[in-house]
Structure 1
Amino acid sequence: MQLRFTSISHHSATVSQRERFHFTEADKESFLQGLQEAFPDITGFLLLVTCNRTEVYFESSITTAGQLRDYLLTHSPGKPGTREKNLFTCCDATGESLQHLLAVSAGLESSVIGDAEIHHQVKQAYRRAIRRGRQGSLLERGMQTVFRSHKRIRNETAFRDGTTSTAYKALKMVQDSFGTDAKNKRILLVGAGDIIRQVLKYSPRFGFRDVSITNRTEAKMMALVRENNIKSWPWVRLRENQLEAFDVVVSAVSDCPGLITGGIAADRKVLLIDLAVPGNIDKSLGAHKHVIRCDLDTITAQLEGTRAKRKAAIRTVERILAEELQAYMDWVQKEPFRQLLARRKRSIRKQLQSTYPLASPEQIDQIANRMIREVIRHNEEPPIHYQDEGNSRPQLPVPCSN
């Protein structure tokens, strides 16, 4: 049995090439069901799909990574062809497969180094495997290694400190500016491009209760309103700078310099975050007494500090992953011994049940477990035959009286 994987990612393929292997939630379920039927020797699998990669980690005795890749080529939603074979990485070795999974989960393989979102995505993929009863043994132990590594990286390095996402940092500024009251502030998002979409992606993590969006193309605005369960705000009111009701304005509209020049509340703190180039929010607004104005330069300067910390921590992260991988491989190498113990335990239980027909299953298990622990301690094979007289028979535990 080996842990294996096949992968297509931003390292080997363009966005348009990767799109052919992107799975919706419904696609994932039908694909995994077909996978189970096509390859019955696969006892565990994990389908990881993000904007940068599609990977399948699986545990099998016969099926190879190349066969799994070929199945992906013919069963992916985008109907790719065999010409995409060379875009994939395939691996049939347990150690190398887990090494890759650890690096991916840690964010070392992400387009943004140290990306924290990938660990959440790996965890979600594993939960799907558990729901289908396909976590396997090598994969299950591997995921325990992933979780332990994640905890060590968070506690022992600065690799997880801060963020390198502009959108996330913008929302963090809202939280930092208003503290515990941030969730109740009225927030207006201006635009419907990639940055605003990223802001909406991260927004639920902060628990903001009152978010509105406005955009010059109403259809795009309404699509985001429906997708994210937020409010719409008329574009014409933005152009008239009727913004007194909002505590926070995050703007990222292309080719709209000087879009916001006034109309903000004058009697309370207001946070203006300008993520556009050229800027949407007039710089002079930052001179107002209660106004905090931030732009891309402000955010980039803070993100650069985070990137530097992460870069400095990479060597420590790699050491942690190497240590955890070695612990996993030590566990794998002991698998034959664990199988022997399992067979011996079944034999012991059978003999005990025959010798003590009146004993409860719990009592039998206690005796069997005790004997197996002795075997592990002394590295001896357990005796499985007992005499009927004297003290050579193991003593059953005395049950508690009610």
Structure 2
Amino acid sequence: MIQGNFRAISLSYKKAPVQIREIISIDQNTIKELLGEIASILPVSEALILSTCNRTEVYYSSEHNLDEEVVKLMAIKKGIDTSESYFSYFQPFVGLKAIEHLFRVSLGLEAQVVGDLQISNQVKHAYQWSADANLAGPFLHRLMHTIFFSSKRVVQETSFRDGAASVSYAASELVQSLAATVVDPKVLIVGIGEIGADVCRHLSETQLSVSICNRSLDKAQTLALECGQEVIDFNDLDQALNSHDIVISSVARSTPIITKENFAPTAIGFKYLIDLSIPRSIHPELGNTNGFTLFNIDEISEKASAAVEKRKASIPNVEAIIHEAIGELEDWSKEMEVSPTIHKLKNALEQIRQEELTKHLKNASPEIEEFAERFSKSITQKIIKLPVLQLKAACKRGEAETLIDLLNDLFDLDNKTVQK
């Protein structure tokens, strides 16, 4: 069965702390390179890589279990010598379990903040990169579009996406609670990727003084105009860090951008630092430095609002949608198994039809030829209709193999030379 070869290897917050996740985490360019290497080195027909602050996962279609090989390739890309020491943090999934896991991840059931909206776009990007690498075959295409349709159903039919529960929203709530302890608090947001930009938008609904610092000045100015916030040139980052009370960083880079060296030793006051990045963009040593309190991504997720509890009530409804969608995907997958037989049967009947028309219409008038063409097509369509319906029904009963063998024997489909 097609989906039986679908596999996943997952490292997530459930088994791996932030210190491990940041080592394994891979950025967009590395994902694209890794997809190319997987395609050229390993016997896979399809592959998709998803890497977020909470998880790094590889999904692939292969007759072989390639989990260890996949992890080794990731380790090589990350410059890790001993992939074996990290393998225990990964969780494998096979067949329907792998499919269900991708559904649950994509719809937000497996997020640290249940129902986190950001995962939807992250999955779409992963699918696009897979397609760009020619690693999205018929099954993965069908699977992903089924997931996207199910996501729409979740929005329309449940309360699972109601309320603003996400890492960015949890971070903005934390900022507001911290700001209440500071006189005239000044907030600095460093990096405006998807999460950073969402934090800006959430905080735009407050009365807080917020400044944006981003490598791309144009991008920062556009967002600042939208949110009514200030812009600070990235070259002035050190000065901005010293003059703001609360700093939120969501910068994508392999090493911390904010360290003790960024702060003047004579700086007065207490600073709150919030790191939303994986790998971490604020050096952990600041968490043990006098005058600083540091929150990381795991701590932020734990502080998500009560909206999460409301969403949890909708989880059974979401799981029902997933169950229904997987059932439909199974039916499609089974039908794909009999598709070659149906195609051969249609071609065999068409070949017989053409041969008989050629034999009996040598001297026929155009009118007779036209009538015979329409009449014979109608007959062959009626002849094939019942076997096709019976094949599809047998698929759902799990009995297609017997009927396939019978049709092959009756029409000699394996040996007959049929037109393409």
TM class, shorter-chain normalised?
0.5 to 0.7
SS of residue matched to 1:104: helix
**Alpha-carbon distance in structure 2 between the residues aligned to 1:90 and 1:378:** 37
Contact 1:195/1:252 (CA < 8 Å) preserved in 2?
no
Contact 1:44/1:59 (CA < 8 Å) preserved in 2?
yes
Deviations 1:103-158, CA, capped at 9 Å, x for gaps? 11111111111111112211111112222222123322222331232122111110
Deviations 1:251-291, CA, capped at 9 Å, x for gaps? 9459969xxxxxxxxxxxxxxxxxxxxxxxxxxxxxxxxxx
1:146 maps to which residue?
Answer: 147
SS of residue matched to 1:101: helix
1:100-249 alignment runs, 5 A limit: 100-165=101-166, 167-168=168-169, 190-192=187-189, 198-201=195-198, 214=211, 221=213, 223=215, 225=217, 228-229=220-221, 232=231
SS of residue matched to 1:192: strand
1:320-331 alignment runs, 5 A limit: 320-331=321-332
> Cα distance 1:38–1:166, how it changes in 2: closer, same or farther (>3 A)?
closer
1:254-269 alignment runs, 5 A limit: none
> Cα distance 1:38–1:101, how it changes in 2: closer, same or farther (>3 A)?
same
Matched, 1:377 2:377: no
Q: AA paired with 2:389?
A: R
SS of residue matched to 1:232: strand
**Alpha-carbon distance in structure 2 between the residues aligned to 1:371 and 1:252:** 75
2:64 maps to which residue?
Answer: 62
> Cα distance 1:82–1:200, how it changes in 2: closer, same or farther (>3 A)?
same
> Cα distance 1:222–1:112, how it changes in 2: closer, same or farther (>3 A)?
closer
> Cα distance 1:326–1:191, how it changes in 2: closer, same or farther (>3 A)?
same
Specify which of 16, 33, 44 is matched with residue 36 of structure 2: 33
1:85-100 alignment runs, 5 A limit: 85-91=87-93, 93-100=94-101
2:226 maps to which residue?
Answer: none
Deviations 1:5-56, CA, capped at 9 Å, x for gaps? 11111111122211222222221221111111101x3111111111111111
Q: AA paired with 1:35?
A: I
> Cα distance 1:304–1:324, how it changes in 2: closer, same or farther (>3 A)?
same
Q: AA paired with 2:36?
A: Q
Contact 1:20/1:80 (CA < 8 Å) preserved in 2?
no
**Alpha-carbon distance in structure 2 between the residues aligned to 1:140 and 1:196:** 27
1:83 maps to which residue?
Answer: 85
Contact 2:190/2:214 (CA < 8 Å) preserved in 1?
no
**Alpha-carbon distance in structure 1 between the residues aligned to 2:76 and 2:335:** 38
**Alpha-carbon distance in structure 2 between the residues aligned to 1:367 and 1:153:** 45
Q: Shift of the alpha carbon at 1:64?
A: 3.1
Q: Shift of the alpha carbon at 1:332?
A: 3.0
Contact 1:99/1:325 (CA < 8 Å) preserved in 2?
yes
SS of residue matched to 2:123: helix
SS of residue matched to 1:56: strand
Q: Shift of the alpha carbon at 1:223?
A: 3.9
Contact 1:5/1:97 (CA < 8 Å) preserved in 2?
yes
> Cα distance 1:305–1:375, how it changes in 2: closer, same or farther (>3 A)?
same
SS of residue matched to 2:314: helix
Contact 2:118/2:166 (CA < 8 Å) preserved in 1?
no
Contact 2:150/2:322 (CA < 8 Å) preserved in 1?
yes
> Cα distance 1:32–1:322, how it changes in 2: closer, same or farther (>3 A)?
same
**Alpha-carbon distance in structure 2 between the residues aligned to 1:131 and 1:195:** 25
Q: AA paired with 1:11?
A: K
Deviations 1:55-114, CA, capped at 9 Å, x for gaps? 1111112353343233333334566632111011112x3111101111111111111111
SS of residue matched to 2:50: strand
> Cα distance 1:365–1:163, how it changes in 2: closer, same or farther (>3 A)?
farther
Q: TM-score, normalised by structure 1?
A: 0.61
> Cα distance 1:375–1:153, how it changes in 2: closer, same or farther (>3 A)?
same
Contact 2:108/2:117 (CA < 8 Å) preserved in 1?
yes
SS of residue matched to 1:190: strand
Q: TM-score, normalised by structure 2?
A: 0.59
Count of residues paired in the alignment: 304
Specify which of 18, 21, 37 is matched with residue 18 of structure 1: 21
SS of residue matched to 1:134: coil
SS of residue matched to 2:88: helix
Contact 1:190/1:196 (CA < 8 Å) preserved in 2?
no
Q: Identical aligned pairs, as a percentage?
A: 24
1:384-395 alignment runs, 5 A limit: none
**Alpha-carbon distance in structure 2 between the residues aligned to 1:33 and 1:83:** 25
> Cα distance 1:343–1:226, how it changes in 2: closer, same or farther (>3 A)?
same
**Alpha-carbon distance in structure 2 between the residues aligned to 1:196 and 1:331:** 38
Q: Shift of the alpha carbon at 1:326?
A: 2.5
**Alpha-carbon distance in structure 2 between the residues aligned to 1:334 and 1:123:** 26
2:396 maps to which residue?
Answer: none
> Cα distance 1:339–1:203, how it changes in 2: closer, same or farther (>3 A)?
farther
Q: AA paired with 2:388?
A: I
- Greater relative contact order: 1 or 2 (C-alpha under 8 angstroms, separation 6 or more)? 2
Q: AA paired with 2:105?
A: V
Specify which of 7, 27, 43 is matched with residue 4 of structure 1: 7
CA RMSD of aligned residues (A): 4.6
Q: AA paired with 1:23?
A: I
Deviations 1:321-372, CA, capped at 9 Å, x for gaps? 122222323333444323322332344455556566899xxx9999987765
> Cα distance 1:253–1:83, how it changes in 2: closer, same or farther (>3 A)?
closer
> Cα distance 1:192–1:307, how it changes in 2: closer, same or farther (>3 A)?
same
SS of residue matched to 1:150: helix
